[in-house]
Amino acid sequence: MDLETIREKLLEKRNQILKSLEESAKSDINEKTGVGDDADTVTDELSRETHYRLTQADRETLYLIDLALRKIDSGIYGICEECGAVIGEKRLEAIPWVRLCIDCSQNEEIVRQFQQRNEEEMIYNIIPPTLGEEEESSKNLQAD
Ligand SMILES: [Zn+2]
């Protein structure tokens, strides 16, 4: 694996993100100075939300790229942070700033999905199944 090629790839992507962040910062200023009526405010809020998420993702990638560049310098590039295995070359070519080997990233994905599902279930289970009985017994208490 040619580390110099990877470094170049990382730097190229880094510049690309910095450029797009810079441009979105410019459009932010334009939005703020522009005068819109109430109907526009809602769509503005939505686009700002999407925009925020996009820049968040960009910033995250930027962070990962910097991390990868530091790893190249320290000679630990291409090693999984979770299990220490050597990450596959094809995987690194596809995503040069990847932190985990394919196995660990799949595990992480499963954990993430599991957590997400638990959160959803928690929302649906706000009403405890015993509530009916409790109401019943509290009525009895009041009757006494
Ligand atoms: Zn791993």
Whole-number Å distance, alpha carbon 56 to ligand 1 midpoint, is: 25
Residue that wins the pLDDT comparison between 137 and 93: 93
- For 120, the domain range is 3-129
Distance of CA 95 from the midpoint of ligand 1 (Å): 15
Using the mean position of ligand 1's atoms as its centre, give its distance from the Cα of residue 101 in Å.
Answer: 4
Number of domains in the chain: 1
How far, in Å, is the centroid of ligand 1 from the Cα of 67? 17
CATH code of the domain covering residue 31? 1.20.120.910
For tokens 């090629």, the residue is 5
Instruction: Identify whether 74 is part of a domain.
Output: yes
- Per residue in 26-66, pLDDT (tens digit) is 876 666 655 555 666 777 777 878 877 778 889 999 999 99
pLDDT tens per residue, range 74-130:
999 999 999 999 999 999 999 999 999 999 999 999 998 888 888 887 777 665 556
In a domain, 143, yes or no: no
Report which of 1, 58, 68 is spatially closest to residue 25, judged by C-alpha positions: 58
The yes-or-no verdict on residue 140 having pLDDT over 70 is no
- pLDDT for residue 141: 60
Reduced to 3 states (helix: H, G, I; strand: E, B; else coil), residue 60 is: helix
- What's the pLDDT score for residue 143? 54
| Cα separation, 6 vs 93, whole angstroms | 8
pLDDT surpasses 70 at 20: yes
Residue 37: the pLDDT is 56
In a domain, 138, yes or no: no
15 pLDDT band, cuts 50/70/90, is very high
29 falls within a domain: yes
Distance (Å) from CA 81 to ligand 1 centroid = 6
